[in-house]
Amino acid sequence: MSKHSAIVGGSTAGRLLNCPASLAAIRALPPSADKPSEYAEEGSAMHEVMDALMGMRSADEAADRPPRDLPRMLHEHMRGVRYHDRLLTDDHLDSMIYPALQHLETLEQEFDGGGAFEVVGVEQRVAFPGVPGAFGTVDLILQNDRFVLLVDWKFGQGVGVQCVYSDGAGAIVNPQLLYYASAALHTKPALFRKRRIIVAIIQPRSASPLTFTEITRHEIRNFVEDLHNSVLAAVDRNPPMKKGEHCRWAPCKVACPLWTGPLLDLSLLRSVERTTSSPAVTPYARYLAHAKYLLDTAVQLKGEVDAQMHAYLENGGTIPGWKLKDKATRRQWVDDVIAVEATLRGLGFKPEEIFTTELVTFREADAVAKRLGVKIPDELRVAPPPSGTTLATTDDPAPPVERVALIDKFTASLRLLQNQAVE
């Protein structure tokens, strides 16, 4: 059973709100024949693990018995078991599952003023009000006397997802969470009676692994009204179209004139005389900003075009100059390690040419230390200085590198090199 609605769901609500035209544009694309990515499959597997754990917790609460030691259950009974398409490994536990449980505990402690929380929903399907066929699935719902917590698990390690973000004019609550909260309130109103609504994202491998915020009934009413208006606009003859951050995962970018139009007009990159760096915004600085924008847009479009070409060919289509071929695979050893070692030794391989050993990374060791309840001594680790600078947009939360500081560092390094040359 699908976890998402074909009309609008949690993951597409923000896109539809900002660009009603995206609904028809995506429906016009050929059906994708691509398999889910490795990252999506990994996320599905980790969701299954968390569902199993929260199911155990719910069963213990319903039976009024002491809760099971979930980390111990994971280590002794769930490790090595297949979830979705893969076996649960120590790396999965250390990098995702154990941290997710710790962040959930932190979240519950933040709102424990209403007593202990109990699980009231795992993979809870909820219907969005006023839009036929619109539904979603909330990963986890907890409640105590004063609060309802709606938790969304995310196990990606690329783009971090936040509960609240800035659109340049103010703070905006993540539309996916507003969608889930609106649908849950509509589907199970008794859970929310006289309780405040808290939404949270737990993404263990992101820079901000736990984010949460409170959502008011007023915000929910406004969101429902806005989404209703967007759905009506989407099915109108000329739905409004808008380009923005909501397009990040939209496959319709490949045919969207707001995305492809600037790329087709290469005259926008006409030559500009180079100038030296200046605190003031020069024509050359504007040229660089525009060129960077166009190239980044082209990179995003390349991924969408490749995916849709692959889907078109997989479905039996023909594209001039292109065809499908089998993916290259790396050769690997057979499962019989003893036989491989014996054969290589017979060929004259030395032991160190067959097996290698190396120290695990600090991240891997730190995860094990947390599981064991110990602390690695500070003197064993060091934080190396930044190796350089990198580009970032002005709305990036990281502090900018001051030019004066860069010049001072360069001057100091130059003096050091000169002194060494003299010696």
User: Looking at residue 412, what is its pLDDT?
Assistant: 56
DSSP SS3 for 260 = helix
User: Looking at residue 119, what is its pLDDT?
Assistant: 96
Percent of the chain with pLDDT over 90: 40
How far apart, in whole angstroms, are the C-alpha atoms of residue 128 and residue 107? 26
User: Looking at residue 384, what is its pLDDT?
Assistant: 65
**pLDDT band with cut points at 50, 70 and 90 for residue 202:** very high
Distance between start and end Cα atoms, the chain: 74
User: Looking at residue 3, what is its pLDDT?
Assistant: 54
Q: What is the dihedral of CA 126, 128, 130, 133, to 10 degrees?
A: -70
Neighbour tally for 21: CB within 10 Å: 19
**Sign of torsion, CA 29 34 38 40?**
positive
Angle at 39 between CA 149 and CA 80, to 5 degrees: 85
Structure tokens, 212: 């949460």
Comparing 59-63, 184-188, 267-271, 306-310, which segment has the lowest mean pLDDT? Answer: 267-271
The answer on pLDDT for 86 being more than 80 is yes
Percent of the chain with pLDDT over 70: 82
Structure tokens, 163: 């509960």
Q: What is the pLDDT of residues 8-65, one digit of tens each?
A: 888 889 999 989 988 888 887 766 644 667 788 999 999 999 999 999 999 999 999 9
Comparing 70 with 374, the larger pLDDT belongs to: 70
Residue 148 dihedral angles phi and psi, to the nearest 5°? -120, 125
Mean per-residue pLDDT, 364-392: 74
- 3-class SS letters over 294-331: HHHHHHHHHHHHHHHHHHHHHCCCCECCECCCCCCCCC
Comparing 191 with 398, the larger pLDDT belongs to: 191
User: Looking at residue 407, what is its pLDDT?
Assistant: 47
Pairing of strands 196-202, 171-173: unpaired
How far apart, in whole angstroms, are the C-alpha atoms of residue 230 and residue 258? 19
**pLDDT band with cut points at 50, 70 and 90 for residue 271:** low
The answer on pLDDT for 268 being more than 60 is no
Q: Report whether 269 contacts 294 (CB < 8 A).
A: yes
Comparing 105-114, 356-365, 376-385, which segment has the lowest mean pLDDT? Answer: 376-385
Q: Report whether 93 contacts 49 (CB < 8 A).
A: no
Among the listed residues 30, 15, 21, the one whose alpha carbon sits nearest the alpha carbon of residue 235: 21
Structure tokens, 134: 């619109």
Q: Report whether 107 contacts 210 (CB < 8 A).
A: yes
Pairing of strands 196-202, 147-153: parallel
- What are the sequence ranges of the domains in the chain? 10-234, 256-343, 344-380
Structure tokens, 325: 């071929």
How far apart, in whole angstroms, are the C-alpha atoms of residue 66 and residue 18? 47
How far apart, in whole angstroms, are the C-alpha atoms of residue 336 and residue 341? 9
Class at the top of the CATH hierarchy for domain 10-234? alpha beta
Number of Cα atoms under 13 Å in the Cβ half of residue 297? 22
How far apart, in whole angstroms, are the C-alpha atoms of residue 227 and residue 210? 27
Name 215's bridge partners. Answer: 197
**pTM of the predicted model as reported, rounded to 2 decimal places:** 0.68
Numbers of helices and strands, H then E, in the chain: 14, 9
* CA 115 centroid distance within chain: 32
Structure tokens, 339: 């036989």
Q: Report whether 92 contacts 43 (CB < 8 A).
A: no
Comparing 152 with 246, the larger pLDDT belongs to: 152
User: Looking at residue 33, what is its pLDDT?
Assistant: 46
Output the average pLDDT for the chain. 82
Q: Report whether 107 contacts 200 (CB < 8 A).
A: yes
Comparing 261 with 184, the larger pLDDT belongs to: 184
User: Looking at residue 97, what is its pLDDT?
Assistant: 95
Structure tokens, 164: 């609240």
DSSP SS3 for 79 = coil
Highest mean pLDDT among 230-244, 324-338, 354-368: 230-244
Residue 73 dihedral angles phi and psi, to the nearest 5°? -60, -40
**pLDDT band with cut points at 50, 70 and 90 for residue 257:** confident
Among the listed residues 31, 33, 14, 26, the one whose alpha carbon sits nearest the alpha carbon of residue 253: 26
